[in-house]
């Protein structure tokens, strides 16, 4: 029982990170119909910027966290303005290839700026692990869960209660109709990129104290976040949360009771299973076509 509880704590912590990354994928997809395969690299930028601001420049926790999110969100908006909006024929396959190229570029940029070394930083709370029934829960895990809860509530309020959030939903439903009624579609896309990459920065900054941050960490995190988004239902915020936690828990249980070699394979096995059995994900609705 103690081992199961320890694996569960580990899975919930990892699942919360996957959920935040999946939120970025789902939010951008629901607003623009685009899957950004460079999203994992923005998570990497968030982790390394947090380390640099906190340890390298001496910023305290909250300013370092705030400026990290701001810097990475600005980088995401610049990426949209220069690489996405300037495309003459924005076909889905063209945009996907651009995001893959951006992923390679950002990884190389990260290596040039921070080098190949891995970095770590202290936890947000300088407290010993919490003992629960013999299992240990890191204080940083509580921080991550609080951040996920705040993000989920904040995004729900943003989409349901604010005019900008409703305008983004309108653009996702029908771009032409939204443009006709005066909604600036291009600005909504720019805002969606800023919010999505900002969520990536939040995920990166949150895991910086519990993992080693390096220039190549974003690739696997991005793929797992994408798997979590697909598992829950791409485009669904609640699906992203469910998929992230489910992936994290199943991954931890697989490592604990089967083999540590399954840690990275679990995400892709689940993705294949979902694509075969329920392509729209657990919560995602099936597409409706009108003729």
Domains in the chain, please, with CATH?
2-277 (1.10.3470)
Give 129's DSSP letter: P
Structure tokens at 8: 């569960």
What is the crossing angle of helices 218-232 and 92-114, to 10°? Answer: 140
| Predicted pLDDT of residue 269 | 83
| Predicted pLDDT of residue 5 | 87
DSSP-derived secondary structure for 251-289: HHHHHHHT-GGGTTHHHHHHHHHHHHH-TT-SSPPPP--
Which of 69-73, 191-195, 215-219, 276-280 has the weakest average pLDDT? Answer: 276-280
Q: Rounded to whole angstroms, how far apart are CA atoms 128 and 139?
A: 7
SS3 labels along 26-55: HHHHHHHCCCCCCHHHHHHHHHHHHHHHHH
The helix (H) or strand (E) run that includes residue 136 is strand 135-137
Q: Does 140 score more than 70 pLDDT?
A: yes
| Predicted pLDDT of residue 284 | 65
- pLDDT class of 289 with cuts at 50, 70, 90: very low
Q: Does 290 score more than 60 pLDDT?
A: no
The helix (H) or strand (E) run that includes residue 24 is helix 2-32
Cβ–Cβ < 8 Å for 76, 197: yes
Structure tokens at 233: 């239902």
| Distances from the Cα of 231 to the Cα of 76, 145, 192, 268, 287, angstroms | 25, 20, 22, 10, 16
| Predicted pLDDT of residue 285 | 52
Cβ–Cβ < 8 Å for 134, 2: yes
Structure tokens at 28: 């951008």
Q: Does 291 score more than 70 pLDDT?
A: no
Q: Rounded to whole angstroms, how far apart are CA atoms 164 and 160?
A: 10
Count of positions (residues) in the chain: 291
Percentage of the chain exceeding pLDDT 90: 35
- Output the pTM of the full model: 0.89
As a whole number of Å, the end-to-end CA separation of the chain is 55
Q: Does 72 score more than 70 pLDDT?
A: yes
Q: Does 97 score more than 50 pLDDT?
A: yes
Distance of CA 169 to the CA centre of its chain: 20
Place of tokens 């001496």: 58
- Provide the total of helices (H) and of strands (E) in the chain, helices listed first: 11, 2
Q: Does 260 score more than 80 pLDDT?
A: no
| Predicted pLDDT of residue 78 | 94
């Amino acid at each position: 029982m103690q081992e199961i509880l320890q694996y569960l704590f580990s899975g919930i912590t990892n699942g919360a990170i996957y959920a935040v990354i999946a939120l970025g994928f789902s939010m951008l997809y629901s607003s623009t119909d685009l899957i950004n395969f460079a999203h994992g690299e923005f998570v990497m930028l968030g982790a390394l910027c947090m380390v640099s601001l906190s340890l390298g420049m001496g910023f305290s926790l909250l300013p370092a966290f705030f400026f990290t999110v701001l810097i990475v969100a600005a980088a995401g908006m610049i990426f949209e303005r220069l690489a996405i909006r300037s495309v003459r024929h924005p076909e889905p396959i063209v945009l996907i290839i651009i995001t893959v190229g951006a992923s390679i570029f950002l990884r190389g940029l990260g290596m040039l700026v921070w080098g190949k070394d891995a970095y770590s930083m202290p936890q947000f709370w300088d407290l010993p692990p919490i003992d629960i029934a013999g299992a240990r829960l890191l204080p940083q895990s509580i921080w991550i869960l609080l951040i996920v809860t705040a993000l989920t509530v904040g995004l729900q309020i943003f989409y349901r209660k604010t005019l900008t959030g409703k305008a983004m939903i309108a653009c996702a439903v029908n771009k032409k109709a939204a443009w006709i009624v005066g909604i600036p579609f291009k600005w909504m896309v720019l805002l969606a990129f800023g919010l999505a990459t900002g969520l990536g920065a939040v995920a990166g900054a949150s895991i910086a104290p519990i993992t080693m941050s390096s220039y190549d960490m974003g690739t696997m995190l991005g793929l797992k976040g994408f798997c979590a988004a697909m598992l829950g239902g791409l485009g669904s915020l609640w699906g992203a949360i469910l998929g992230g936690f489910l992936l994290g828990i199943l991954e931890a249980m697989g490592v604990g009771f089967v083999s540590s070699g399954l840690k990275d394979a679990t995400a892709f096995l689940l993705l294949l299973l979902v694509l075969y059995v329920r392509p729209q994900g657990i919560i995602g609705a099936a597409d409706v076509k009108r003729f």
